[in-house]
Every structure is written in C-alpha cells, then in structure tokens.
Amino acid sequence: MLLLAAATAGYGIVVGYIVDQANALTGGGAGSGDSLTRARRYAKIVLPVLLSITLISGVANYAQRILANAVALNAVGDLQKQMFSAAHRADYASFAREPLGNLISKFTNDVTVLSGALVRALSNIVKDVLTIVFVLGMMLWSNWQLTLLIGVLYPLAAWPIIVISKRLRGDANGVQEHIGTITSELKESLGGARMVRAYGLEARETERLDASFNERIRRYLKLVTEQARVDPILEVMGGLAIAGIVIFGVYQVSAGTTTAGSIAAILTWVLILSPRIRALGTLNNVVQEGLSALSRIFAVIDETPTIIDTPNAVPLTDPRGEIDITDAMFSYEDGTQALHGISLTAKAGETVALVGPSGGGKSTVMNLIARLYDVTGGSVKIDGQDVRYVTLSSLRQSMALVSQGVTLFNDTVAANIGFGDLSASRENIIEAAQSADAHSFISTLPNGYDTMIGEEGGTLSGGQRQRLAIARAILRDAPILLLDEATSALDTESESKVQAALERLSHGRTTIVIAHRLSTVTKADKIYVLDAGQIVESGTHKQLLKKRGGIYAKLHKLQLN
Ligand code: ADP
C-alpha cells in the first residue's frame, strides 16, 4: 500500500517532468540538433521514468489487492468458523429464539457484508489516506500557493454533493428495507404454493406482489434520480475548480514563478485526489454496515451456553438406564410453564409411554432427560445421578434418539447410519441395517450403502427413513432410547416393519416413548398421561382402561373408533 501510494503520487512528478522536457525541446531553448534527434533524446529520458512508475504501481496494486482480500477473507473466515462452533455449543433453546433463516443469513449475508467492508476499510483508510498524504505533501512542496488556493476551492465544490449524499443514504436504506419486505412476501406466497392453488388465490397473490414490484420500481427510480444528479454536478463544479487553477497557474507561469510542468503536475494530483476523498466520504456508511454485521456475528459467538459441564462433573459410567424424574418443573424462556412438578420413573429396560393431548408437555419431558434444557425445579436422575452433574458427553452417549422428523444428512446411506457411532465398521453398519429391516431396501438402491442421500432424503419413503433412523439408533447401542413416534400414518406394510424394528431396538433398553400407536401403548410397562404440564394418570394399559371417565380411557376409545 505504501509503495502503491508513493507510485500514485509519483505520477504527478512524472507528468510535470514530461511537460517540462517537452517544453524545453519544442521551445528550442535547451534543445540543439535536428528535430528527430531531439525527439529521440526526449524518449530516452522520459520513457524509462514513465515505464518504471507504471510498472511499480501495477505490481504494487496487484499485490496489495490480493493481500487486502486475503487478510479480510481470513479474518472473516475465522469468525465464520467460530460462529458455527458457537452455534452448536449454544443452548438448544437459542434455536427456538429466532427463525433459522436469520441465523443462516449471519453465515452468508453478514459475512459477505463484513468482508466487503473490511477490504474497503483497509484500502480506503490505509492506501487512500497514504496517497492523500503523499500527494498533498508533494503539492505543497511543488507549488504551495496553488495548493492553498485548491484547499479553498474544493470544499466549496463538494458542498452540494454532501447535501445530496445525505438524502441518498435515506433512499438507499428505504430500498434495502423494501427488499426485505419483498423477500418475505415471496417466501410466504411461493412457499404456500399448495394453498394458493387449492384455494384459487393466484390472481389475488399476483396482484399483491405486483403492487410490491411496482413499489420497488418507484423507490429505485427515486434513488437513481438522486444518484444521477451527483456526477453532472461534480463535473461542472470540478470543471469550475480546475478552470480556477488553470487561470491562477497561467498567471504564475507568465510571472515566471513556476513552470507549465508544475501546473500539469498539480492538475494530475487534483485528479488523483478527488475520487479518493470522495471514497473517504462514503466510507462511513460501509463501515457502519460492516459494524452492524459484526455485532450480529459476535452476538452468536459471545453467547454463553448455560447447559455445560459443571466444574466437578463426573462421567456417567456404564449406565443401566434407570430414569428418575422428581417434581420436575420447567418454564421456557418466554415464560410458558410447560411442566408443573411431575414425577415419573422408568426402571432399567422398561418401556414407558408418554401420552396425552398435544401441548401437554411430553416433548419437554424428553428434552429434560437429554438435558437439552435444565429443570427449573426438581431433578432428573439417571442411575441415581442428577443429569446436571454428569458430563454432557457421557450423558448423551448413554442415549439414542429416534424422532418423527428423521434428520438425514446429505451423505451416503452408510454414513447416515454411521452417525450413530462414528467408529463403527462397515460390518457393524450393515448389521444394524439388517436389524432395522433396512438392509433389503438399501441393497436395491443404485449404489447400495454408498448411495448419496439427496438433501432431506427426498427420494426415500417415510417408512424407509424411519428405518434408517432406527438403524442409526441400533448402532449407537445406548441403554436409553428416546423415541418420538411419527404421528403421520405410514402404510400398513411399512408400519409393521417399522414397528418390528422398533421392538428389536427397544429390547433390553430403557425406552421413553411419546406414543401415538396403540400397539406401542398397550405393550408399555407403564403409561403416563400428561395434560397441561401435569401427570394426570399413570399405570398400565389395563389399569388405565378401567378408570371410567379417565382421559386415557377416552383417548383409547377415540382411537379405536
Ligand atoms: P407435547 O409434546 O405434549 O405436545 P410440549 O412439551 O411440546 O408438549 O409443550 C408443552 C408446552 O410448552 C406447550 O404449552 C408448548 O406451547 C410450550 N412450548 C414447547 N416448546 C416451547 C418453546 N421452545 N418455547 C416456548 N414454549 C414452548
């Protein structure tokens, strides 16, 4: 940057030198011999100077551009990595706090804005300021009277631009905000394509979005109209300023106090300075944008998780999988009290079903066992040890989760099962798949276990995805199984395959199941009925059925019907 600034400033000297040399030759004063010899001599003096300065400037420009970008990209890349690991370290609760799209846009949009701002700040603050300092120094040294005159003229010329720029900023913000509005309208309307078609809302939606698109045109045109004023005004004001310089310069030359070359040098410097000073003027906006992106990024990085290992946490060794929940209370961040003191137990190897109306607190109980959240009162114990005082890794290692929304990663089938145990061999994976009754359908896939699962596993049926999830859990071979049964019905064949696989999976493991299927419920060792954050009934299927007027008996009757 230093080199580039010096070389750029050097252009003025070179131009001045070229003009003075030419002047001397054509003026004939210092020249001798015929015109051709004089021209050769001129070229010999001027060309090397000209070429070296362009070369230095070119190389320096190339290097500084790459270096500045490398610095910015590396810095921002580090932040991106830190942000990602922070997002996964953060409390699970943080994911409920804002839409996932917002978090993702911090990784894409904010990161791009920040790295752009960094490059711009580096080059404007360092390179341009250096150039301005060098150029001003040379101008003062070369012709201080003229430089002082410019110092008075230029700010006057810049005044109208400053006024317009302020208005521009407001307009540009408006346009940005409106882009946000259009984006959410588009997402809503296109995302709801099924509803729109089913209810024949196409015309209404088109009209609604047309209005937004028209508004966009209006706002942009207003912005462009303002912007279009800037250049002509600059040109006229700049022209006037330069005319002033030329007149004063010619006066100086005729008075013999300076040379034509010196005037040419000053004009060159003025042309070099203008865009750089303008860039400094708009730098503030870019820096502000960068800073606000940075603060959004830091908010993610600086978030302190509360669900962490306590200082003297001990590992949960060889857990048998006995679960004791005593008087557990829980409120979500927004104040919703989801559990009002519930107690339940599951002996090692038992299957305990949680049933009840939606919103009753079943998922919350499961989240507490996995310590995705900490109880706000009471306790959750595994093998007599409070989950808050064992290490998180050993706790999570002791359980497998099969949930209705099966998470498949965009990787091979084998890898997707292998997430259950990252050290598993291919044989282990195949065994697990066999046990989950997934082997036969996997074998019919184009590349068997090495078939890539498209995003979200869109090509697999619901039952197949479930069985992959079960294979993953079998591979994990954990003493505790957390099972969130799928609510949406599978076809009868899939259903019975999934059911059989689940039975093999839960055999010998403590299973806490949010149960929707009758078969699961009837076979459970114990059933807890949760309603509005309280356990309202508990017992075996038979015991609960006998309770006339009980919620369970009612639910059961409803399902049978
Ligand atoms: P169930 O699994 O029985 O349907 P949940 O455990 O999901 O019930 O929910 C229990 C209560 O907690 C409900 O009132 C629900 O609205 C509320 N709830 C669940 N998740 C959250 C959350 N992330 N933030 C705030 N409230 C929540």
User: pLDDT tens digits for 381-394?
Assistant: 999 999 999 999 99
Least confident of 123-127, 301-305, 311-315, 344-348: 123-127
Determine the Cα–Cα distance for residues 128 and 5; give it in Å rounded to an integer: 7
Ligand 1 nearest atom to the CA of residue 360, by list position: 3
Question: In the prediction, which pLDDT does 251 show?
Answer: 92
Q: pLDDT band at residue 561, thresholds of 50, 70 and 90?
A: low
| Count of CA atoms in the C-beta half-sphere (13 A) of 530 | 26
Q: What is the DSSP string of 502-521?
A: HHHHHTTSEEEEE--SHHHH
361 Cβ below 6 A of ligand 1: yes
Ligand 1 centroid from CA 97, angstroms: 13
pLDDT at residue 306 is higher than 60? yes
pLDDT band, very low/low/confident/very high, at 456 (cuts 50, 70, 90): very low
Q: Which of 173-177, 207-211, 432-436, 546-550 has the lowest mean pLDDT?
A: 173-177
The pair of three-digit structure tokens given for residue 241, joined into one six-digit string: 């300023």
Q: Is residue 145 within 6 Å of ligand 1 at its C-beta? A: no
pLDDT at residue 530 in the model:
94
Asked whether 436 and 395 are in contact (CB, 8 A), the reply is no
The per-residue pLDDT for 458 is 60
362 close to ligand 1 (CB < 6 Angstrom) = yes
| Any atom of ligand 1 within 6 Å of the Cβ of 457 | no
Atom of ligand 1 nearest to the CA of 93: 23
Using pLDDT thresholds of 50, 70 and 90, give the confidence band for residue 560: confident
Evaluate: CB of 360 within 6 angstroms of ligand 1: yes
How many A from CA of 358 to the centre of ligand 1? Answer: 9
Residue 545: HSE in the Cβ half-sphere, 13 Å Cα cutoff = 10
* pLDDT value at 157 more than 80: no
List domains and CATH numbers for the chain: 2-185+223-301 (1.20.1560.10), 323-560 (3.40.50.300)
The token pair at 69 is 């970008």
* Residue 10: pLDDT over 50: yes
423 within ligand 1 shell (Cβ under 6 A): no
Atom of ligand 1 nearest to the CA of 357: 3
Pocket mutation for ligand 1, best pick of 98, 325, 363, 485 (most atoms within 8 Å of C-beta): 363
Residue 455's pLDDT band, with cuts at 50, 70 and 90, is low
pTM of the predicted model, to two decimals?
A: 0.77
Cα distance between residue 83 and residue 19, in whole Å: 57
Whether ligand 1 lies within 6 angstroms of the CB of 463 is answered as no
- Between the CA of 338 and the centroid of ligand 1 the distance, in Å, is 6
Which tokens go with 73? Answer: 């990209």
Contact call for residues 325 and 368 (beta carbons, < 8 A): yes
Residue showing tokens 């984006």: 183
More reliable by pLDDT, 246 or 162: 246
Mutate which of 364, 484, 513 for ligand 1 pocket (most atoms within 8 A of beta carbon): 364
Residue 30: helix, strand or coil by DSSP? coil
Ligand 1: does its nearest atom lie under 6 Å from the Cβ of 92? no
Average pLDDT over the chain, rounded to an integer: 88
Q: Which atom of ligand 1 is nearest to the CA of 365?
A: 6
pLDDT above 90 covers a percentage of the chain that reads: 53
For the CA of 533, the nearest atom of ligand 1: 10
Q: Does 487 contact ligand 1 (Cβ within 6 A)?
A: no
Where do runs of H (alpha helix) occur along 370-425?
Answer: 392-397, 413-418
Q: Which atom of ligand 1 is nearest to the CA of 96?
A: 23
User: Among 94, 330, 332, 483, which residue has the most ligand 1 atoms within 8 Å of its CB, making it the best to mutate?
Assistant: 332
Q: What is the per-residue pLDDT for 311?
A: 93
- The residue with tokens 């307009």 is 171
**CA of residue 486 to ligand 1 center, whole Å:** 17
Report CA Rg, the chain.
37
335 lines ligand 1 (CB under 6 A): no
Segment 460-476 mean pLDDT: 90
**Out of 226-230, 264-268, 377-381, 485-489, least confident range:** 485-489
Place of tokens 């019907």: 561
CB of 262 within 6 A of ligand 1: the answer is: no
For the Cβ of 326 lying below 6 angstroms from any atom of ligand 1, the answer is no
pLDDT band at 147 (very low <50, low <70, confident <90, very high): very high
**With a 6 A CB cut-off, is 94 part of the ligand 1 pocket?**
no
Q: Using a 6 Å cutoff on CB, does residue 340 contact ligand 1? A: no
Q: From CA 430, how far away is CA 417, in angstroms rounded?
A: 9
